[in-house]
Each structure stands twice: as C-alpha cells, then as structure tokens.
Structure 1
C-alpha cells in the first residue's frame, strides 16, 4: 500500500504539476511524504538525508514541533487577516526579527517570499533616492519576479529581461578571478576598484541601489574576501547609494550567525530575508528597513503591498522558529558543526578526490566546486553533475546541485553523526563517478 502511494504521487505529479526551471518531459522526482530534523522519507519509509534543506530554507529542520504547534494554534485563533489591520502575531514577529538585526533598524515590511522582498527593497531604494539604476553582480540569484530576476546575474535572467534600470558588475571570486588576483586582499582591492569604475561610468547620480547577496548562495557560496563588504559600504556612502544586502538564503543561522553580514564589518540600509526566518513552514519574506528609509514614507504613501503581507500563520511560525532557534542553540550548532564536522569532512574529501577543485563555506553553507582538472580549473559538465546526483540519491542523500557544484547545505540542526553519514555517501558517490570517468 505504501509503495502504491509513492507511485500515485509520481503519477499525479507527472500528469498535473508544472515544475519550475525544468523541461517537463522525463522528470523523475523523489517522493517526500514526511520528515524530521535533517531526514526525510517516502511513503514506503525509505529514509534520505536532506543535505539540500530543500531550497536551502529548512534551517530549523523538518517538522519542528514548536513551529508546527504555533501554526496550529494560530489557525485555531485566526487563520487569516488582511494587511490593513493591526495583529498581535504580526507585531511580535517583526519585533523578533528586529531584535536579531543590528541596532537602529526601524521597521519590517512583510512579503510572501524572497523575490518580492527584493522587489520591494528596490522600490524603496528608488523612491528614497529619486534615482533608477540598480547595480548587482553577475554571479548572483535574487528571485524569479520582474526586477529580482533581472537583478540576477546567471542564465535565468536572459529570457526574463522585462524590468528597467539594471546594470551588472563582477564581484570577487578568487578561485575564478576576473581581476588576475593572486591573494584574497588583491581580489578585494581590485573588485572594489572595478565596482567604483562601474559606478562612475554609469553615473552616481543615477544609481539608486547596490544589491548584493552577503554571501552569494546559488551562484557558488563565495565568501567575501577581507574588506570587500566594508569597501562596498564605503562606496555606497561616498556616492549616496542605498546598500541592499540579500540575506534570503544566507540569513537566520545558515552561516552560524543570525545574519551572514554580521561576520564582515558591514551594516546595510535594507536587509531582505525569507527562507530561514521560519524555514518555509508558511511562505513569508520581508525587508528590514533603516530609520532613514522608513522615515521617507512617514508622510508619503508607500506604493506597494500584498494581500498576504504579514499573514498570521506566517507570523506565528516566525515567532516560534526564532524563539526555538535561540533557546535550543540552533545557530550555534550550525557554526560548531561547520567548524568541527562539515569543514574538516569536506577537506578530507578534497584530499582524496581530484574532481573537487575547491571547498568553500562556513556554518551549514558549503560548496564543492567540481573540475575536470585542478590545474586548469575547468568546470565539469552537466553530465557529471547528473551522474553524481543520481549516485547520491540512490545512496540515500538528497543533494543540492548548481552548475558544476554540489552544495552541502543541511539544516542547522544537523548532527555530527548525520554529517559523518553524509560524508561517507559523498565519498562513495565521488569514487563511483570518478571511476566511470577514468
């Protein structure tokens, strides 16, 4: 009977569901029926380690009882209410978020997810400055709505360029440097020089915002080199540009800090969030707003809104998630497990497997950059990644793959034992694929 449910789920999915970022014919997706912590399973009870955190969002793990209970209790009390009301859960959720932000942030604007958080942050920056242009990096992903997808740097931007006023530049990435740098310090200095020349060439008086992922996620988990984010802040101040840091993927524990930028001596003007704030138990996102930008709209209408902004079920899940992450030391666990288990485990794999060109990351936010040759650093092709995904899945690990990389991004609650189990699976899968390629 359980196998029948798995077959039924696949049949219904193939027949009726249209999937994102996919050619629809031939999809053969894993069935997920339940989960707990860092583990998921199908209807037949076949267990898989979730080292994707789905789309790098289930930071608190699957089915955390406190978050599930909070949603249930809120549904019993008030299942929905419009944004043009005051609601206790919404206010408390905003308060919890601001408690984790740097001192001085004023308000939270709630959205339905990360992409529309980016949309509204851009809108705020344009209205606040009276300027139009938004600068963002080529190696980035900011979401799949109008301005967010055009702000994105990767291939998904190209069929979707319907928004105005976007200019891209190269951010720092020493492993594949655009600046002929040989040290992190050189990469930072030259990337900042490049950015300032782009600002000057586009015209500072036309630029509303600099939009950066604090740590680019889908683009490769590229940690900023020393001084880079602080240097971007200085350039934003020099030219009167709003600095937006996208913390949708990197925020709320993923790096072992509440916000990724807190490790890089920088404070932005606007912070976008989603994903880890409640681990996606109910769709939600938002913008954390500085006092200066918030004051722009004290006596001026903000021309933006969503039917489900600050939805009470989402708000209740945020409160419960942040409280549980704090009381259970979940953010500290992400930091510790990254330092003690994931980082050393991946370094050992890199020593053994020539497919791995570089390991980079922190907390529960890591990438294996896979190459055909370590000297040339040529990325492996989609065929290699496809084989590796198949090998990992068949061994009971749900992977996150992007371009030539496997991202190692388990929930923040992952245990040392689960990491050790995952490292064995990565080892076996890499050994098999390397053997096939020999």
Structure 2
C-alpha cells in the first residue's frame, strides 16, 4: 500500500499502536519508528529522515535492503506462479535446495524447507528424536532458538521461562570467557571446562536418553559469543562418543553474517543437522529450513516423516533465496563481509573500547559484533537499563539504528555495508559512547 501525502511518522505510529500487537513487548509504552523504505544499508522513515541500519532489522537483511536482483526474482516468480503445495515438485524450490547444498559440507543431500528459524529448529529436534529414538535435547542457557513449542524451551534466556510447555529439555552453560561460569582465565581453559561441564551433564542425565545437542554456532542475541578454540570440535567428539545428534543453529550466523557461508566453516566441525533462515534470503519473504545429513535423511526413505508445513519451500520465498545466494556469490558478498570484519569493524571497535571505560569487551566476526557495556570495568557490572536506553535514543537521534540486547550494543550492519558507511556509523557510536561516559 502506497503512502499518501497525509501520512506522517506520528499518524502511522498511532495507527500501528492502535491495531498491531507487538512481540516481546508491553503494549502501552511502545513508540515504534515507522519505516517507509530502504536501500542497501540505509532506511528512511515516513517523514523522510534517513538512518544507517546497523541492526539489519533483526540481524537478517544480510544482502541489504531492496537488492534489485532479489526484488526482481520475487516479481518474476509472482508473475509465473505465486504458490504451490509442498507435495508438488517445483523448479524454483529445487534450485534453492541445490544452491544451499552446494555450500553445505560433504555428506548432505536434502533440505527440508520451513517458514523461518523457529520451525527449522522445531523440525530438526523432531528429526533427531526420531532418528535416535531418544527424547532429551541439550542446549545452552545463553541461546535463542525461536518462539515455537520446542524451540522456545530449547532457548536459554528469559523468554523460555513463561513458555515451558515442551518436554525433555536440559540446559548447560556454554563458553563465555568474559563472564566465565568456570573460573577460567584463558580461552583454552574456558573451552576445556565448558566441555567437561557438558559431558558431565550428559552422563548425569543418562547418555541413552539424549537425542541431540542444539547449539547456535555463534550465539547471537545472547551476545555474539564466538566459541573459543577447540570448543565446537570438542562438542562434536562428545556427541559422537555418546551417539548424540549435533544440530548447529545457523539462523543468525549463516549466509555471510560471520564472514562465511556457514559460520561453522571457520571452526573445523561438521554437524549432523544444520538449521538456517534469515540471511538465506535476507528476510525478503519468510523462509527457513533444515539441511539434513545423508545418514539421517535415509532414516525416512521408507518411513514417513511426521511433519510438514503448508508453505514449505513457498515459490516466492525460494525465488528470493535463489537470487540472494546467486547475488552473494557473484558479488563476493561473503568475502566482503569477512574483510569488513577483519579490516574495519574489528580494529575500529577495539580502538573505541580503548577510549571509553564504559566498554567492557568487543567481540565478533564478519559483520557480526557485540559491544558489551559496563558500569565498572573492574567488577564488570552490566550497564544499567536506563543508560542503555539513553544510548539507543542518542544513536537514533544521530541517524543510526542499533540492535540492543541487555547491556550490549550489537554492531550488525548488512553484509554489503561499505567502508565509508562503516566509518560513518562507527564515528556516531564513538561519539555517543563519549557522551554516555
């Protein structure tokens, strides 16, 4: 629906607040920013003010806003066939699966498409349970896996607690050296002790009862917690030792976000199931899926898989995925994201940390970074919510959309962000942190 000359930020915001029920929010205090358009790494509101989008919305617009090849692919598919039941074969869906599998490790030959990341994790859990004949799923406290039945209970953060209706979930602490649960002083210690904690939990729960270990390759909303050396290979070894399926959640970290097609490519590990969404088509049309190892896929050659979705591999979503992956490959967007992390984001954020005592730590890869803010560097006391709110408002006033979680500013621009845009955005962040301090 096109905007009219009478539309303003205030009028659209009021219409939204009066009729839309927003997620994860108390409704009365909402003040949503009305966005009217976007291009590349920028968006603009209804009144015409432009913002650098250093949130990528929900860390999903990896290819940038309104990429012409993706928009054209959706339009072309809509003109040809807007929808098709998943029981039928469809060339666009098949091409999307082929392109995804070309980037998966050896030993993966099937993709089960879903509507997003939550139901990708939901179905991966189901596959692991059916494959192993076991029930329990181990995941970490610092995690987010989606807002459906099993996915939200696999989640470790506060959103799990009001929603614990699914059975068979166990949580452990993963590695997080800055706030170690294991009294570690080095990355190596943190890795070793977190692995010991995981294995002891498996032993205490009963290895024969555990179907899967579900981990975000790099926990995203929990703080861009890049795993220390040896951790993910150690998890793989433990899973193999006890016959447990390893599911790696690449919903946020995949498709250029961490500077790789899949974030686990940088850690020397191959999972049994891979879940994806977000960056696979930058959220232009809802899409997610599970990449299934050959061994698990063969389980269902002569056995019905008891799961399905009306919109599994929807042609508009599949077309947007094909265009996104092809554009990323042709334009070397994955390599660009890796270089922006190594050459610009990492060095500049570390310089910012040195200048501002309010910064406790910066960490990340590619275009996937977190700035952890503290009231005191010695005690590492998290910065209070009201000060985080002040920073968020300051950045918005200066024309930058940030992604905030607890006491962290996540610096997660689109993977197509230019060096000059990064310079502009980081200069805004630097100045705002100075005013905050």
User: The TM-score by the shorter chain falls in which range?
Assistant: over 0.9
TM-fit CA distance, 1:425: 0.8
TM-fit CA distance, 1:2: 5.3
Report the aligned-residue RMSD: 0.8
Partner of 2:135: 132
Is the Cα–Cα contact under 8 Å of residues 9 and 33 in structure 2 kept in the other structure? no
The alignment status of 1:419 with 2:437, answered yes or no, reads no
TM-fit CA distance, 1:4: 3.4
Gaps of 5+ in 2: none
TM-fit CA distance, 1:3: 7.2
**Equivalent residue runs for 1:214-293 within 5 Å:** 214-293=217-296
Is the Cα–Cα contact under 8 Å of residues 2 and 43 in structure 1 kept in the other structure? no
TM-fit CA distance, 1:94: 0.3
TM-fit CA distance, 1:66: 0.1
Is the Cα–Cα contact under 8 Å of residues 114 and 275 in structure 1 kept in the other structure? yes
Q: Can you list the C-alpha shifts for 1:325-374, whole angstroms capped at 9, x where unaligned?
A: 00001111100111111111111110111110000001000000111111
Q: Secondary structure at the match of 1:281?
A: coil
Q: Secondary structure at the match of 1:25?
A: helix
Q: Distance in 2 between matches of 1:8 and 1:105?
A: 50
Q: Distance in 2 between matches of 1:43 and 1:405?
A: 28
Q: Distance in 2 between matches of 1:67 and 1:382?
A: 38
Q: Can you list the C-alpha shifts for 1:120-151, whole angstroms capped at 9, x where unaligned?
A: 00000000000000000000000011100000
Is the Cα–Cα contact under 8 Å of residues 3 and 44 in structure 1 kept in the other structure? no
Q: Distance in 1 between matches of 2:399 and 2:272?
A: 42
**Equivalent residue runs for 1:305-320 within 5 Å:** 305-320=308-323
**Equivalent residue runs for 1:69-108 within 5 Å:** 69-108=72-111
Number of aligned positions between the proteins: 434
Gaps of 5+ in 1: none
TM-fit CA distance, 1:264: 0.4
Partner of 1:302: 305
Q: Secondary structure at the match of 1:109?
A: strand
Partner of 1:377: 380
Partner of 1:324: 327
Q: Secondary structure at the match of 1:384?
A: helix
TM-fit CA distance, 1:44: 2.4
Q: Secondary structure at the match of 1:45?
A: coil
**Equivalent residue runs for 1:102-117 within 5 Å:** 102-117=105-120
Q: Secondary structure at the match of 1:251?
A: coil
Q: Secondary structure at the match of 2:369?
A: strand
Partner of 2:122: 119
Q: Distance in 1 between matches of 2:144 and 2:311?
A: 24
Q: Can you list the C-alpha shifts for 1:272-323, whole angstroms capped at 9, x where unaligned?
A: 0000000000000000000000000000000000000000000000000000
- TM-score, normalised by the number of residues in structure 1: 0.98
Q: Can you list the C-alpha shifts for 1:61-100, whole angstroms capped at 9, x where unaligned?
A: 0000000000000000000011010000000000000001
Greater shift after overlay, 203-212 or 1-10?
Answer: 1-10
Q: Secondary structure at the match of 1:209?
A: strand
